Amino acid sequence: MNVINGFFHPSIYFIVVAVVLLAWRGQSNSWRFLLPVPGLLAFITILSMETGTFSQISYLGLTLTLGRVDALAIVFAHVFALQALIGFIYAWHVQDRAQHAAASMYVAGAFGCLFAGDYLTLFIFWELMSVASTFLVWLNRQPESTGAGFRYFLFHTLGGLFLLAGLLLRYSHLGTFAFTAVDPSTAAYYDYLILTGFAVNAAVIPLHAWLPDAYPRATITGAVFMSAFTTKTAVYVLARGFSGFEILAVMGVLMTLYGVFYATIENNIRRILAYHIVSQVGFMVAGIGIGTAMTINGACAHAYAHIVYKGLLFMGAGCVLYAAGTAKLTELGGLISRIPLVFLGYIIGAISISGFPAFSGFVSKTMTIEGAAEAHHYWLALGMEFAAVGTFLSVGLKLSYFAFFAKPESEKPLKPIPGNMYLAMGAASLICFVLGVYPKPLYDLLPYPVEFEPYSTWTVLMTLQLLGFVGLGFYLLRNKLKPEAKINLDFDYFYRLGGALSLVFAKKPVEVVDNWWSEIYNRVGLRVIMLLAWMSTVFDKAAIDGVVDGTAKNVQNGGGGLSNVQTGRLQDYLALALVIGIGVFALVWFRT
């Protein structure tokens, strides 16, 4: 990999920093100055990156491509580098080097997936992401985080196995690992295996329960990174390989509605935001499934905007958790006057995700919805519009009201928030606003030419009217929407049911069969074994010992006879030799 041909892999920056952090010795905290470096260098590298195919490696007759660069890869790489820089600024105060090393390897895996030109390379970086992100959950060092991390890892291992099975079967049929687009009309069973593996990381329902389970239990800064990379890497590979698959369009819209519904009834701030990842990724998956140039552009634009504003929302939630020690709405309220800058950053992220005009979500989400309508998928467009309204209800209104208002000024003791956390939130807030009022730089990055004007009179007025009515409805019904101190089971109910049924199966049929077998063994099998042991003893004494002992006696007698012959007198030996010689002569004489 070199810079001369226009490509230097951004993953290298993050891997080097991760290794340095793990190898660092000494008490000095100067290692923290390394944290923003890989994101900054990656961003600069991507700005000057040329399109083409680079860094191909031949190994065991295979060609691995580590550097396929085109418009689709660049738009995701651009925002990945930007968010990595912001994320490490937000995490500047964290003293645990292991957290930073895991985050660096996680980002390296994401970049590796973006530029992979073959399935084998993709799989290697895909698994690197899975392992590194698991540590971002475990390093929270709480019992519930340990369990959630194991469940997260098992689920992603399942997705990785689907991907591995699909790419190996595909290779056996086609003789290539090349990562190319699949035509929906000719897709084979191995393509659907690969699609299933991608769907796990995209949190497509019902394969999504790992996300609201693990993200609220990750470290404060780890959740900011995780909100950006896993699902959006999945969106990228779906756009790369499976655009136009109608099943994705339908499942995407179901994701938008499903995530909004669960977010509305949740109590934990980070769990609410996790469900909104499911919902917002649904917009992207739907756009990819519809498969027109406009909806794919919309999916990519929304992925870019989502990474920034969702990171901002998780940063706001992280500040609340850091300061107050809890993320439960039932234990919060009255914080507006105590941490006003956190509220300001959070509300910018909230109105961005809600699609308010002048903010980033508006210029990306409307492109996907209008693209669906232009492609005559009216029901899909209507479903996404309902989801957009529900997003404002849960994130923009309910969460902000019950966390920052709803009660008199809180007297809960608050831990001071580090300045770097405010700085990162300020940077993300600025990007959300700039992209909203001037979307051209974002549109110029998209893979297809953009012929879309978000600020039409009709679009702006319709959006403001819908959001205004939602706001009025919330004000009138706010007392009915109070959060409850409980955890709502999702599809993990069925996972738990499967585990419970497995225990029942182990305790009932398996245990009964085991008890029967033990009883049969004790009554019959043990006696048979004892009989065989007795017969072996008899055979040993009568046959084996007889042969061995008889042989020993013969050897002993023969040895005694020979010892009598050996007198030590020369005349005895001469006489013996004479007798033997006469005997041999007589034998030869009589035979002839």
Number of domains the chain contains: 2
| Shared-domain flag, residues 300 and 287 | yes
Number of H helices, E strands in the chain: 24, 2
Q: Is residue 315 part of a domain?
A: yes
Domain shared by 486 and 501, yes or no? no
Closest by CA position to 368, among listed 273, 293, 470: 293
pLDDT of residue 569: 60
**Position 3 in a domain:** no
507 with 477, same domain: the answer is no
In a domain, 398, yes or no: yes
How many angstroms separate the CA atoms of 88 and 397, rounded?
29
Same domain for 307 and 167: yes
| Domain termination site, one of 470, 490, 510 | 490
454 in the same domain as 531 = no
Residue 52 contacts residue 7 (beta carbons within 8 Å) = yes
Domain shared by 381 and 270, yes or no = yes
Q: Which range marks the domain in which residue 388 is found?
A: 11-490
- Placement of tokens 């033997």 in the chain: 580
- Residue 192 domain flag: yes
Tell me which residue of 253, 284, 459, 263 sits closest to 356, measured CA to CA: 459
Structural domain ending residue among the three candidates 431, 456, 490 = 490
Collect all residues with Cβ–Cβ distance below 8 Å to 182 and sequence separation of at least 6. 191, 241, 242, 245
Same domain, 330 and 393: yes
Examine the domain organization and report whether 286 and 417 are in the same domain: yes
Query: Could you give the residue ranges of the DSSP H alpha helices within 184-292?
Result: 189-201, 210-214, 220-241, 246-265, 269-290
The C-alpha atoms of residue 84 and residue 69 are separated, in whole angstroms, by: 20
pLDDT per residue as tens, the chain (592 positions): 444 456 899 999 999 999 999 998 877 888 999 999 999 999 999 999 989 989 888 887 788 999 999 999 999 999 999 999 999 999 999 999 999 999 999 999 999 999 999 999 999 999 999 999 999 999 999 999 999 999 999 999 999 999 999 999 999 999 899 999 999 999 999 999 999 999 999 999 999 999 999 999 999 999 999 999 999 999 999 999 999 999 999 999 999 999 999 998 898 999 999 999 999 999 999 999 999 999 999 999 999 999 999 999 999 999 999 999 999 998 888 899 899 999 999 999 999 999 899 999 999 999 999 999 999 999 999 999 999 988 998 898 989 999 998 877 767 788 999 999 999 999 999 999 999 999 999 999 999 998 888 898 888 898 888 888 888 888 888 888 787 877 777 777 777 776 677 777 766 776 677 777 677 767 776 677 777 777 777 776 666 656 656 665 665 665 555 555 555 565 665 666 666 766 666 665 555 5
Confirm whether 2 is domain-assigned: no
178 and 240 in a single domain? The answer is yes
The answer to whether residue 523 is domain-embedded is yes
| Residue 410 sits in the same domain as residue 528 | no
Last residue of a domain, one of 464, 490, 516: 490
Rounded to the nearest 10 degrees, how much is the dihedral formed by the CA atoms of 214, 220, 221, 222?
Answer: -20
Asked if residue 519 and residue 407 are part of one domain, the reply reads no
Q: Which positions ≥6 away from 187 have C-beta within 8 Å?
A: 195, 245
Cα separation of 41 and 1, whole Å? 16
**Pair 142, 183 in one domain:** yes
According to the 3-state scheme, what is the secondary structure of 320-345?
A: HHHHHCCCEHHHCCCCCCCCHHHHHH
158 located within any domain: yes
In order of 120, 121, 151, the CA distances from 160 in angstroms are: 12, 13, 14
